[in-house]
Amino acid sequence: MKRATLAHLANRALASKKIILLAIIAMLAACSGDDGTSGNPGEPGGPPASEINALNIAINEVLFEAGIATVNYRITNESDEPVVGIPSATYLAAQLLPQGFTNAGNASEWQYFTSESCSSSCDGEFVDHKNGQYSYTFSAAFDGLNDIAFMPGATQRVVIKVGGDALPDGTDLPVTNQHYDWQDNGSAPAYTRNLIEMQTCNTCHNDLAFHGSKYNEVETCVTCHNADKVSNPDNVFAPMVHSKHLTGFPVSLADCQTCHVADETLTENMNWARVPTMAACGSCHTNIDFPSGQGHPAQVDNSNCVACHNPDWTMSAHSQADTDAVLGQFNVEVVSAKLNGDAVDFSVRLSNPATNEVYSDSADKLDFIDDLRVYANFGISVDYTTRSAKSIKLQDVEPISGSNGIYHYQIAGLTLSDDPATDKGSLALQGKLCSNDAMLANCADSDVTTTIKSSYQFFSATEVTEQGRRMVVSNETCGSCHGDQQLNYHGSRNDLEQQCQLCHNPNMQADASAVNPAASTADYKHLAHTLHAGSRESYPDINYPGNIGNCAQCHTTDDTGVLTVALPLSPTVQPLAFNDGSFTSATSAICSACHLSDSAKAHMTQQGGVFNGTEADATAGTESCATCHGQGASADVLKVHPIK
């Protein structure tokens, strides 16, 4: 009986312990996230990020009490996993004065309040909630900071900058900026000032970042680069950016929409045309002094600007519409081509796409054609055999035959490759048209010429073909900086993907005595590389705006989707030829255009590269570069370059 009682009591005690344990588990479940990690009420945690290639900041809210702001935000990696233990951050604050607030005609403008930092110590109060959630309370009320009066109801902005350092475990953190616009009454801002998307800047600049790469959002830049922060008026954002682009800008400065791309999602879309000011306009029109009346009627402020320079006028004055209208009235295309001995016989059709009309007259009888030329070369298997055959000017010659809009011509003097029956060539067209008031006009009565968009046509020994020389860069990739075939060389040659190569091919020789031989040849691949690297002595003002190692900025992908910078090179790529009769093997020649050091060249030589050797040696195929640098290899060029 005693033993039974003791057993009964033991079972009751065990049952009680189980109940208590279950209760504890239930309470823990109620207080934690689904995965059991700690989190703020209503905000589950989750396992912290194990890999961080990008940081994302989501600002949840700004609380405002007694004039002091507290910003609550979350930081995650590229997989939306919480990042815990951020060691430092910078917090900026500003407010926006509405358009016209300071004076009639004035643009809206940011007013800088403060910048506070937090690392080993904090200016304000910083809280890491240990689940990817963070809070920061500014050290003081904004009102009066930097001698700026806080405006109730105005749009306010906070910017958070994190990264550039590492987590306690040594994980590197990429730099990230994030802005958040808010209003002190808790409602969404009624207005803000966003004129440009950062991705527009980065079509040329890749990853535009300043001040030690700490700041990489245009919204961050304007928060500080305003009249209340910078001491030099030239460093206010709009005039500063405009003036920096006056030199080396790769397209026409008149085309404001290169940067100010029309985008209805931007709150200040088309601001450049709607709100003309002396500061913004004068930073490009540097020959004008508005207050003194130099180059423009005297203006003491911006109140009168829009009276003359209304949006329609401004857009018209900076528009490419007239050019587009003229180009839309003329098209030239090669419709047939074939070899005839060392000549190419070809036919062209001239038409007016605007009216679907085929011009019945040949080019020499159309008085609005200022210049229309055709170039030819053959032998794509060796990147063309000579610089080019002599071009013909269609406006100056009678066609051999033809009627009803299709006329036949011949370009003689081609140098053919060893097996022309299996090879191909290219015909390239370029020219200029005369116009008045956006309409084609007799050149005798017009002083306005418009460059046509150059084009090309591949051909074989017997017919025109769709396939021809490999395409390494495209007009689209070049146009990301240079505009849509607007980069005109030699008057009117602007087809960068295929026309330039007809003359700028491996038959162009390098200076054997040059320190950087690639910078002394006009062979297209070396010409393009060294121009963008700023290493050609005759082009000192070129300053490539992006990361020179980002090959994808210019290179396009091939038919298999692989970037054309990948190794191994196409077998049609020829060695670099020198004026002393020597040659450098193809891969070594291309890589050494950027990798100039003696150690880099020694490495290439050890792997079979040939520098200034015989043509036989340079084409013997001894280069083993692709073993390590080919696709999927340990040092694949697609991986070791900062390609984006």
pLDDT digits (tens, 9 = 90+) for 465-492: 999 999 999 999 998 888 876 778 888 8
Q: Which two tokens stand for residue 8?
A: 């009964």
* Residue at 302: amino acid letter: N
User: Can you say whether the dihedral through the CA atoms of 28, 30, 34, 37 is positive or negative?
Assistant: negative
**Pairwise CA distance, residues 50 & 76, whole Å:** 11
**Backbone phi, psi, residue 13, to 5°:** -65, -40
Q: What angle do CA 61, 64, 66 make, to 5 degrees?
A: 165
pLDDT tens column, 573-590: 999 999 999 999 999 999
Tens digit of each residue's pLDDT (9 = 90 or more) over 491-536: 888 999 999 999 999 999 999 999 889 999 999 999 999 999 888 8
Q: What CATH class does 36-191 carry?
A: mainly beta
Residue 9 has pLDDT above 70, yes or no: no
The average pLDDT across 353-362 equals 94
pLDDT of the residue at 212: 86
**What CATH architecture does domain 241-319 belong to?**
Orthogonal Bundle (1.10)
Could you read off the pLDDT of 598-632 as tens digits, one per residue?
Answer: 999 999 999 999 999 999 999 999 999 999 999 99
CA distance 477 to 487: 13
> pLDDT tens for residues 272-310?
999 999 999 999 999 999 999 999 999 999 999 999 999
Using the 8-state DSSP alphabet, how is residue 462 labeled? S
CA distance to 125, 220, 318, 323, 379, per residue, from 312 (Å): 50, 31, 10, 17, 51
Distance CA 10, CA 446 (A): 111
Spatial CA neighbour of 347 closest among 374, 328, 318: 374
DSSP state of 48: P
C-alpha pair distances (Å), 448 with each of 127, 297, 531, 562: 65, 28, 31, 43
Q: What is the mean pLDDT of the chain?
A: 90
The angle subtended at Cα 228 by Cα 225 and Cα 234, nearest 5°, is 50
List the one residue out of 519, 526, 498 whose CA is nearest residue 384. 498
pLDDT, residue 543, reads: 81
Distances in Å between the Cα of 249 and the Cα atoms of 202, 252, 286, 500 are: 14, 7, 15, 21
The CA distance from 316 to 323, in Å, is 12
Q: Which residues of 557-580 are buried (b: 16+ CB within 10 A; e: fewer)?
A: eeeeeebbbbbbbeeebbbbbbee
Q: Tell whether the model's pLDDT for residue 24 goes beyond 70.
A: no
Instruction: Name the one residue in this structure whose structure tokens are 């309040």.
Output: 113
Three state DSSP letters for 334-390? EEEEEEECCEEEEEEEEEECCCCEECCCCHHHCCCEEEEEEEEEECHHHCCCCCCCC
CA distances from 172 to 85, 151, 206 (A): 12, 39, 21
Query: What is d(CA 169, CA 85) in angstroms, rounded to the nearest whole number?
Result: 9
> pLDDT per residue over 416-465, tens digit each?
999 999 999 999 999 999 999 999 999 999 999 999 999 999 999 999 99
* pTM score, whole prediction: 0.81
Nearby residues of 539 by Cβ (< 8 Å), 6 or more positions away: 531
pLDDT of residue 224: 95
Q: Are 593 and 533 in contact (CB under 8 A)?
A: yes
Q: Which helix (H) or strand (E) holds 11?
A: helix 2-31
For 449, list phi and psi in degrees, rounded to 5: -120, 145
What does the pLDDT look like over 109-125, one tens digit per residue?
999 999 999 998 999 99
Report DSSP state, residue 500.
Answer: G
Tokens of 4: 């039974």
Lookup: tokens for 234: 């030239």
Q: In this structure, what token pair is assigned to residue 313?
A: 């006028």
Per cent of the chain over pLDDT 90 is 80
CB of 181 closer than 8 Å to CB of 157: yes
DSSP track, 603-643:
HHHHTT--SSB-HHHHTS----HHHHHBTTSTT-HHHHS--
**Banded model confidence at residue 95, pLDDT cuts 50, 70, 90:** very high
What is the chain's length? Answer: 644
pLDDT confidence of residue 251: 86
Binned at pLDDT 50, 70 and 90, residue 44 comes out as low
d(CA 510, CA 469): 23
DSSP assignment of 550-605: -GGGTB-B-TTS-BTTPBSPPTTPPPEEBTTS-EE-HHHHHHTTT--SHHHHHHHH
